[in-house]
Structure 1
Amino acid sequence: MAEETAQFHPIDLSKSALIVIDMQEHFREIASELLPALTPIIAAFEQHHLPVIYTQHGHDMMSDNSMLLKWWGKEGSISRFSPDWHLMSELEPYLSIENPKIYRIESKDRYDAFLHTNLNRILRENSVESVVITGTMTNLCCETTARSAFNRDFYVYFPTDGNATLNKAMHDASILNLRYGFAQITTLDELHKVLNTL
Structure 2
Amino acid sequence: MTALILIDVQRGFDDADFWGPRNNPGAEANMKALLDAWQERRLPVVLVRHDSTKPDSPLRPGQPGNDFKPELDGARPDLVFGKQVNSAFIGDVDLDAWLRKRGITSFVVAGIQTNFCCETTARMGGNFGYEVTFALDATFTFDLPEVTADELSRVTAANLANQFATVKSTKDILAGL
TM-score (norm 2): 0.84
For residues 91-120 of structure 1, the C-alpha deviation after alignment (integer angstroms, 9 at most, x for no partner) is 11224xxxxx62211x21100111133322
- Separation (CA, whole Å) in 1 of partners of 2:167 and 2:73: 28
Change in CA separation of 1:20 and 1:32 when aligned onto 2, cut-off 3 Å: farther
Aligned partners of 1:145, 1:37: CA distance in 2, in Å?
A: 19
Counterpart mapping for 1:65-84 below 5 A: 69=54, 74-76=55-57, 78-84=59-65
Q: Which runs of 5+ in 2 are unaligned?
A: 17-21, 143-148
For the residues of structure 2 that align with 1:134 and 1:52, how far apart are their CA atoms?
11
1:46, 1:102 within 8 Å by CA — same for their partners in 2?
A: no
Correspondent of 1:182 among 145, 151, 164: 164
Matches within 5 A, 1:33-182: 33-59=26-52, 61=53, 69=54, 74-76=55-57, 78-95=59-76, 102-105=78-81, 107-116=82-91, 117-166=93-142, 167-182=149-164
How far off is 1:83 after superposition? 0.9
Contact 2:29–2:71 under 8 Å retained in 1 = no
8 A contact 1:23–1:56 mirrored in 2: yes
Larger radius of gyration: 1
Shift of 1:34: 1.5
Deviation at 1:77? 6.0
Aligned-partner Cα distance in 1 for 2:140–2:51:
19
The 4+ residue runs of structure 1 with deviation greater than 4 A are: 29-32
Identity of aligned residues (%): 26
- Structure with greater proportional helix content: 1
The two structures, once aligned, show a CA RMSD in angstroms of: 1.8
Q: What is the aligned residue count?
A: 163
Q: 1:32–1:121: structure 2 CA closer, same or farther, 3 Å change rule?
A: farther
CA distance in 1, matches of 2:136, 2:118: 11
